[in-house]
Amino acid sequence: MNEELNIEKVTKFMNSFRGQLIVGQALNVAIETMKNRQPEWMREPSNISDMEYILKNVPMMGILSDNKNPAYDTFITIQISDSLGGWHEYEMYGDNYVNGQIAIEVAKALDFYSPSQVQVWYEMIPKNDFPDGEYVKRIIYPILE
């Protein structure tokens, strides 16, 4: 019975935003490791291709990744609250792994030194040639379940 509860709990976690973010980060590390594996014949290109496919097609897993779905434009935005309760966009970064990490670290520092509330948003906007695409906007810092 405990195993069933654990499977349900793990499945729920894997479907959460945080679970998808963690799996996405793990896939990024695995892809880079496998691409650099020596000797070359041990690289398993089909596995690398499958991992890249997952990152491109499960939007939240690819947040902090260079493996993006080409049908979307993606952005990372830092927002800070003012004393009147409004939100102001301080900087928008073109989305890639490094800029996503920088945005989160800047937000953490601002949270630590400032009484204002800080958020980092991840936004996916379908390109014109992908009209059925789903618009996605999520807070990635602080991580909310």
**Residue 34: its pLDDT value, please?**
93
> What whole-number distance in Å separates Cα of residue 128 and Cα of residue 114?
39
**Residue 69: its pLDDT value, please?**
67
Tens digits of per-residue pLDDT, 59-96? 667 666 666 667 777 788 888 887 777 888 876 666 56
> What whole-number distance in Å separates Cα of residue 121 and Cα of residue 112?
18
pLDDT < 50 positions in the chain: none
128 and 80 Cβ atoms separated by less than 8 Å: no
Share of the chain above pLDDT 90, in %: 10
Domain spans, the chain? 2-62, 72-141
**Residue 47: its pLDDT value, please?**
94
